Every structure is written in structure tokens, then in C-alpha cells.
Amino acid sequence: MGCLGGITSPFWSLRERRGVDLPHNKVTAEMPTRTMPVPSKVILPMQQHVGARCTPLVKRKDHVNVGMLVGHAEARTTADIYSSVSGTVTEVRNIYYANGKSDVAIVIEPDGEQTVDESVWPPEVPDYRMLVHAVKYSGIVGLGGAGFPTELKLDVDVDSIDTWLVNGAECEPYLSSDYREMIEHPDTIRRGLETCLDLSGVPHAIVCIEDNKPKAIELLERTFADDPRVDVLAMPTRYPQGAAHVLVRNATGREVPRGGHTTDVGCVLFNVTTMSCIGRFLEDGMPLVKRRVTVAGDAVANPQNLEVCIGTPIREVLEFCGLREEPHKVVTGGPMMGVSQVDLDYPIVRQNSGLLAFGEASARELETTACIRCGTCVNSCPMSLSPIEIMKAYRRGDMAALDRLMADLCMECGTCSYVCPARQPLTQNVRLARADLKAEKRKAKGR
């Protein structure tokens, strides 16, 4: 099909006015990735993915190497956890999240040697089944923030798929981790994507990149210039362009049905760094033990892209970058969909593409005022929902209305809260409504 070469999607007009233009603040975009030294300790929570928690396979005083399996679960939906350092296990203990939930974590004191475990070996993948099987033992999850086990995403009926989408949109402000992957490692992206296409037989791939990244678009066009299966698509820069259903719609014109998946409309969708990670794993066999994190925000003295060992405490990352002032708000991920962290001893985990620290002035919460019925939240929602009506229905406990208003379609992108002039807590309420509606539906199905 050849490269589309900076041409925007013919389907974009479907939702032209939805979403929101955000200040990009991607000050780290042109900074080459630096590698952070091995930290004083790594903390490996046993749930760094969507699905079942892993069980620790090591105990206090055990010696571990880089790439050694330390957490495993028998469940179907899970992703194994590997040590990011060589050293000694000092603790296996509970840790607590900001939402009150707890997890088990393995704490390792590095020996500084970074000895690679003898189990690390490039996999042989003669066919698609073996590729899926190999990725199961890679610890790779969706690196754009979702944390969904990649093996499960690959494990689909490939005969029903005609389009392999690669998400290089990186539409959240501040973040430039995926952008650096595209600039620094186009060859591993190519290796990962072309292996998947070769072995699956899926005939067409589209690498989707927002048009505020012209260097990445040009570089990937050149990278795939001789592969007629791969198009590079320049998409308009508008948040949340990278959200799964939005991207499928804007790249292919297909609507994922309510409650359905991208596979229902013949598409699979992978984050661009995830694709690259598959390419790297096929080459050296090293499971996912480190990742690039964009460290930014106005409290950070030296914003940058850092490659860190998974499990590095947030505090050590911030100390390495330096702080202008005591952070009043620390977020892992992007400012729109990221998670606020209250404990700086909590670690960087696999799906954290960003670490943002904000000072007192920018972290201050604005006062909520009465809804002025301006309709901006409704006009901006990329899923065509009515956030204000959903919030009202949630507050009066009206499940039938939540179902009618399709609260379950919310992807928690934060657009409605961002655009609301009254600073109504729309996203928070729609998130709760969505959870309640899903629980109600599960109950109705007897599950």
C-alpha cells in the first residue's frame, strides 16, 4: 500500500471536534535517553499488569540475577515478573497503594554487578504460536500505560484480523518516551512489527503518529519504505488521539461496538514501545526489566528521558534529576490519565511511561463552582457521552439511566474535567459510575 507520507486519515472528519487541544509541554522530546545508574534497591510489586497477581518465587537472602523469574501466576491473565538487577533479596513484604489496596513486593539490594541470568536466551519463533508462547515468558505488557499482558493481546484469531495498528500517538502532555523510542530505535520497532506480520499473516499495518512529531513520522516512513504492508499515518494532534477506540476509529473508520474489542472490527493495537520491546526480546531474550521514563514537571530541575531499572523507587529517580522545590503532586504516567502517588518510596513499574512532579502553584486544586450548563463537556467527550448527565445519574443512584447514558464506554481520559469551566469532578464521578454499572451487569449475569 505504500506510505501515506504525512497525509491525515480520511476518517478523521468523523470526530473532528471531539477531544481537546492541550499544551504539549514536551520539553524532553529532543533529549536523548540517559541511563540511570543502578539504584540502592529495587521494589518489585507482584501486580504490575492487568490480571492476576504473581506469587513471589524467591525469599529473603536469595541471590538473583538480571532477567531471572521472580514472580509467577498460573492464571491466564497475568504477566511474569523478572528481576531488573543482580543482588540479594532483602524482603518480601506488603506495600500499600494510594487507593488503599495492598500488594506483595520483592525488595532486592543490588550487588552492582548486573550479572545476567543464565536463563536469558533469545527465543526461537518459527511460527506465530511460538511467538505468542515466547512473549508469554518475556514479561512484556502494554507499555503505553495500560499494562495489559502482551501475550494475551497477541493470542487472537489472526485470520479475523486485517489491520495491525501501532500506537505512536503519545497524546498526553509532557510524555516523550514513545517518541524517543521511535527516534532512537526504529530498527527494533521494525523487527518487532515485521516479525508479527510475517508470522501472523496479517496483511496490513498502520503506524499511527500525531503530527506534532514530524521527525518520527519521517524516520519511520524511511524505516518501512521498502515494506508495502506498512503505512505510517500522521494523525492530527488532539487529545486523546492515542486512546484505543479513538485511534481505531480515526485510523480505519471502524467503530468498536459497545462492550466489544478492537478485534471485533479486525484490528489489533499495540503501543509502539511495546512493539519495539518484542523486537528487542526476540534478539537478546532479555525479559522486560528496564524501561524509559519521561521525568518532567515544574518541580523537576533537569527534566529528561531516563532508562531505569524496573522497581527503582520514585524518590531515587527524582533525586537523580534534581528538584527545584518540594513536589506537591507526583504523578506516574501522564497528567491526564496518570496516577497520583503519595509514597515516594513506591517504585517505577512496567507501565509507567512518565514521572511528573509539580510544585505548589501548579498542583493547587481550583475551586469547584456550579455547573453553568455550557455543554462543553458533552461536546468534547471523544466517546460522545454526556459526562454531566452521567454524574447526575450516578449521584442519584440511577442504574437504568447510567446504562442508557452508556457510562461503561468512558475510557477515563479526563477531557471532560479538563474542559469544564466550573471544575466539576466529572471524570471522577463517571469513573465511579462506570465501575458501578459494570458491577451491576456482572451481578445480573450471575458472575
SS3 358: strand
Residues in region 375-394 near ligand SF4 by CB under 6 A: 375-377, 381-383, 385, 387-388
Question: In the set 135, 420, 433, 437, which binds ligand SF4 (CB under 6 A)?
Answer: 420
CA angle 427, 433, 438 (to 5 degrees): 125
Tracing cell 500488594 back to the chain, one arrives at 103
Among residues 385, 363, 145, 165, the alpha carbon closest in space to that of 261 is found at: 165
Question: In the set 105, 179, 414, 433, which binds ligand SF4 (CB under 6 A)?
Answer: 414
Is the CB of 65 or the CB of 429 nearer to ligand SF4?
Answer: 429
- Residue 420 is labelled as binding a ligand: yes
- Residue 277 is labelled as binding a ligand: no
Is the CB of 16 or the CB of 345 nearer to ligand SF4?
Answer: 16
- Residue 413 is labelled as binding a ligand: yes
**CA-to-CA separations, 195 to 14, 67, 134, 198, in angstroms, rounded:** 33, 23, 13, 5
Would you give the end-to-end CA distance of the chain in angstroms? 45
CB 227 within 8 A of CB 204: no
Residue 432 sits in the site that holds ligand SF4 (CB under 6 A): no
Phi, psi of 435 (to 5 degrees): -65, -45
Task: Name residue 323's beta-bridge partners.
Answer: 300
Torsion of CA 325, 330, 333, 335, to 10 degrees: -80
Among residues 438, 436, 412, the alpha carbon closest in space to that of 425 is found at: 412
Is the CB of 202 or the CB of 381 nearer to ligand SF4?
Answer: 381
CB of 26 to ligand SF4, least distance (A): 21
Q: How far apart are CA 44 and CA 85, in angstroms?
A: 11
Question: In the set 25, 65, 273, 415, which binds ligand SF4 (CB under 6 A)?
Answer: 415
Q: How far apart are CA 166 and CA 350, in angstroms?
A: 19
The window from 42-50, 222-230, 246-254, 409-417 that contacts ligand SF4 (CB under 6 A) reads: 409-417
CB of 409 to ligand SF4, least distance (A): 7
Phi, psi of 384 (to 5 degrees): 60, 35
Is the CB of 91 or the CB of 398 nearer to ligand SF4?
Answer: 398
Question: In the set 374, 395, 438, 439, which binds ligand SF4 (CB under 6 A)?
Answer: 374
The window from 188-196, 254-262, 293-301, 371-379 that contacts ligand SF4 (CB under 6 A) reads: 371-379
**CA-based radius of gyration for the chain:** 22
Residue 372 sits in the site that holds ligand SF4 (CB under 6 A): yes
The window from 35-43, 290-298, 411-419, 436-444 that contacts ligand SF4 (CB under 6 A) reads: 411-419
Q: How far apart are CA 21 and CA 103, in angstroms?
A: 37
Residue 171 sits in the site that holds ligand SF4 (CB under 6 A): no
Q: How far apart are CA 168 and CA 91, in angstroms?
A: 38
Is the CB of 59 or the CB of 438 nearer to ligand SF4?
Answer: 438
Residue 275 sits in the site that holds ligand SF4 (CB under 6 A): no
**Binding residue ranges:** 371, 374, 377, 381, 410, 413, 416, 420
**Binding residue ranges for [4Fe-4S] cluster:** 371, 374, 377, 381, 410, 413, 416, 420
Binding site for ligand SF4 (CB under 6 A): 371-377, 381-383, 385, 387-388, 410-416, 420-422, 424, 426-427, 430
